[in-house]
Amino acid sequence: MRPSLALVAVAICATIGCDRKSDTPQSQSPAEIAKEAPVTSKTSPELVHQQSSLVSADSGTVSDFERRVKDFVQLRDTLERDLTKLPDKATPIQIDKHQRELGLAVARSRAQAKLGDIFVPGMQTYIRGVVKRVLSGPEGPQIKASLMDENPMQVQFKVNDRYPDTIPMSTMPPDMLAALPPLEKDLEYRFVGNRLVLLDLQSHLIIDYVTDTFAL
Amino acid sequence: MSAFERLRLLIQSAAVAVALTVTAWPPAFTDAPPAQSIQTPAGPAAIPLTMPNKDGSLKFGVLGDFGTGEPQQYQMAAQIARVQQQFKFNLMLLVGDNLYGSERPQDFQVKFEIPYKPLLDAGVKFRAALGNHDSREQAKYPKFGMDDQRYYSFTAEGVRFIALESTYPELKQIVWLEKQLKDAREDWKIVYFHHPLYCSAGRHGSDVGLRDKLEPLFVAYNVSVVFTGHDHIYERIKPQKDIVYFVTGSGGKLAPGDLDRNSPITAKGYDAEQAFLVAEIIKDEMTFNAVSRSGKVIDSGKIFRRQGNRPAPSSR
């Protein structure tokens, strides 16, 4: 027998906190419910309200960030079209070569790029605020423990550097991801120490980052 | 098993052991790790598996945290090859941390293609999930069977498998997962990924934040079994909300003594040696054996698939 949607809603309500239960239509799926409450899984209504206000006040900053990200993706995609297309059954050698060629092309094309070009000062403040809010919420200690798990702490890098090959990717806690602005395809947020890095997966380059997002 | 069959297995096992000892390590690269003599662990002539080993059943293996390129990985790989000779599984789920350290083209050979050559030659299809040590470009590597997808699903012999990328569980992926689970018509649903929702190891342990997101979906949509890694131990968790969770994170790396011996959620744990798992599904039953680097069967049992809302799993 398929699980009824009511049961599904009850299951997710039990997880995200009962104070949301009465507002949750029974026809919603768990993922839809999660989509509606993307801040944290156990966020109080006050916290949700605080974030809504902040998002509203900073919507111009976030839109500007999204535009800068989009510009980068356009540039990268244009540069990639000039490269030889990877075959469907690419070997590791071909994949590696393609990625490094794209990385070089991107780095060359934005050779003047510097810290804060995409995360402009206003956006840096916004990001620090988001991180602080998530980490000071009820699940904060658990979320911090998760993002510190195998977090490569003392790694030196700058904008346009290749993400170091020998260090693991830090785990992005779902609640932290949900609180940050969504990204274009093939871009990711990662923490390296307390720096929030914007990583381009196609070129494996660090596009920009925000320093001191939380106290170590 | 007939005397002839025993003799045949013995000869095959010896042949694999010799081949791996002589040819597989150290690999022939100029920048390969320093040469070092390794011996395939002796182990029993035939590994005392307790699998039904029926014709036409789905047989598969599960391996995690393996791609070190070190002798222990090669020794474990040799045992996996021996198991595969006795128990002809043709699918291997990889729960992440497929390559440690550098991921140069030659690393794919040293840390994957050479140690598992007997399996690749035998036609075993690998289906990888990504761990936190894996670069996303692995999704393009054909031998990992990911079809350039960081999370994906596939069906084998009427079983729905879903591989997730748990290092980066963005909302889009969660929404995709729910659709996969909701639309799946298969009786068996098995999900695998890197970070354990339940685990009694000291180093990382249970990822509670991830559990909050995934477990409600697993419960609601009738997932029976979940395979994970990350902690470098083997652990079978007592059924949680009727779902059986495994941690198979000691395919190459090992954290000896890391398991909490007093954990109330452990059904069976092992951290003395590397280990991997084989499983076989026949109708509503999944039989499993976990095998160590020295060829011991360290855990075994049966799991019954969940059926609707009826609690079903029981294991021993």
Tens-binned pLDDT, residue by residue, of chain B (316 aa): 455 555 455 445 444 443 444 334 444 433 333 334 445 555 557 899 999 999 999 999 999 999 999 999 999 999 999 999 999 999 999 999 999 988 888 899 999 999 999 999 999 999 999 999 998 889 999 999 999 999 999 999 999 999 999 999 999 999 999 999 999 999 999 999 999 999 999 999 999 999 999 999 999 999 999 999 999 999 999 999 999 999 999 999 999 999 999 999 999 999 999 999 999 999 999 999 999 999 999 999 999 999 874 444 444 4
Contact B216 A166 (CB under 8 A): no
Residues across chain A: 216
Please give the Cα distance from B79 to A6 (Å, whole number). Answer: 48
Q: How far is B205 from chain A (nearest CA, A)?
A: 10
Instruction: Determine the residue of chain B that is closest to A171 in CA distance.
Output: B167
Q: CB of B242 within 8 Å of any CB in chain A? A: no
A167 falls in which pLDDT band (50, 70, 90)? confident
| Contact assignment for B213 to A204 by CB distance below 8 Å | no
pLDDT of residue A47: 37
Query: What is the distance between the alpha carbons of residues B171 and A196, in angstroms, rounded to a whole number?
Result: 19
Tokens of B76: 């474990």
> Considering only CB atoms, which chain A residues are within 8 Å of B177?
31
What mean pLDDT value characterizes chain A?
A: 78
Whether residue A38 and residue B171 make contact (CB cut-off 8 A), yes or no, is: yes
Whether A7 and chain B come into contact, CB under 8 Å, resolves to yes
Q: Is the pLDDT of residue A163 over 60?
A: yes
Q: Which residues contact B209 (CB under 8 A, 6 or more apart)?
A: A41, A139, A142, A143, A146, A173, A174, A175
Q: Do B308 and A2 count as a contact with CB atoms less than 8 A apart? A: yes
Evaluate whether B162 touches B192 at the Cβ level (below 8 Å).
Answer: yes
Q: Which residues of A touch B186 (CB under 8 A)?
A: none
Q: What is the pTM of this model?
A: 0.81
pLDDT tier at A184, thresholds 50, 70, 90: confident
Query: How far apart, in whole angstroms, are the C-alpha atoms of residue A14 and residue B263?
Result: 25
Neighbours of A145 (CB within 10 A): 16
Question: In the structure encoding, which two tokens stand for residue B242, read together?
Answer: 């009727």
Nearest to A7 among B102, B171, B220 (CB): B220
3-state secondary structure of B278: strand
A149 interfacial to chain B (CB closer than 8 Å): yes
Of A110-124, A173-187, B81-95, which gets the smallest average pLDDT?
A: A173-187
pLDDT of residue A56: 54
CA distance B104 to B102: 6
Which pLDDT score, from 0 to 100, does residue A57 have? Answer: 52
Reported as type and span, the H/E element at residue A56 is helix A45-57
Task: Report the b/e string of A93-108 with b at 16+ CB within 10 A.
Answer: eebbbbbebbbebbbe
Place of tokens 């799946």: B184
Taking an 8 Å cut-off on Cβ atoms, the answer to whether B175 and A175 are in contact is: no
A164 — pLDDT class (breaks 50, 70, 90): confident
- Checking if the pLDDT of A30 tops 90, the result is no
Q: Is A150 on the interface with B (CB under 8 A)?
A: yes
Spell out the domains of chain B, with CATH numbers in brackets: 3-304 (3.60.21.10)
The confidence score (pLDDT) of residue A50 equals: 40
DSSP secondary structure string for all residues of A119-150: S-HHHHHHHHHHHHHHHTSTTHHHHHHHHHTT
Cβ separation of A169 and B168 shorter than 8 Å? yes
Taking the Cβ of residue B173 and every Cβ of chain A, the question of whether any pair is shorter than 8 Å is answered with no
3-state secondary structure of A101: helix
Nearest-Å Rg of the Cα atoms of chain A is 20
So what's the pLDDT on residue B314?
46
Using a CB-CB cut-off of 8 Å, the residues of chain B touching A171 are 132, 166-167, 195, 207
Could you tell me where the DSSP H helices lie in chain B?
A: 3-19, 71-86, 105-108, 117-121, 171-183, 208-220
Chain B: residue nearest A143 by CA? Answer: B209
Phi, psi (deg, nearest 5) at residue B167: -70, -25
Measured in angstroms, the CA of A150 and the nearest CA of chain B are apart by 8
B220 vs A1, A30, A204: nearest CB: A30
pLDDT score of B97: 96
A169 chain-B contacts, CB cut-off 8 A: 132-135, 167-168
Model pLDDT for residues A55-111, shown as the tens digit of each residue:
555 788 999 999 999 999 999 999 999 998 888 888 889 988 999 999 999 999 999
Q: Residue B124's pLDDT is what?
A: 98
- Tell me, what's the pLDDT at B17? 46
pLDDT at B254: 97
What distance in Å separates residue A169's CA from the closest CA in chain B?
Answer: 5
Q: What SS3 state is found at A11?
A: helix
From the list A172, A90, A86, A188, the residue with the least C-alpha distance to A134 is: A172
Closest chain B residue to A163 measured between Cα atoms?
A: B135
Confirm if A30 and B217 have CB atoms less than 8 A apart.
yes
Over residues A35-62, the mean pLDDT reads 48
Q: Does A103 touch chain B (CB under 8 A)?
A: no
Please give the structure tokens belonging to residue B167.
Answer: 């290092």
Interface test with B, best of A43, A96, A99, A163 (most B CBs within 10 A): A96
Question: Which 44-73 residues of chain A touch chain B by CB within 8 A?
Answer: none
Say which residue, A195 or A4, is predicted with more confidence. Answer: A195
Beta strands B266-270; B188-192: pairing state: unpaired
Total CB pairs under 8 A between chain A and B: 129
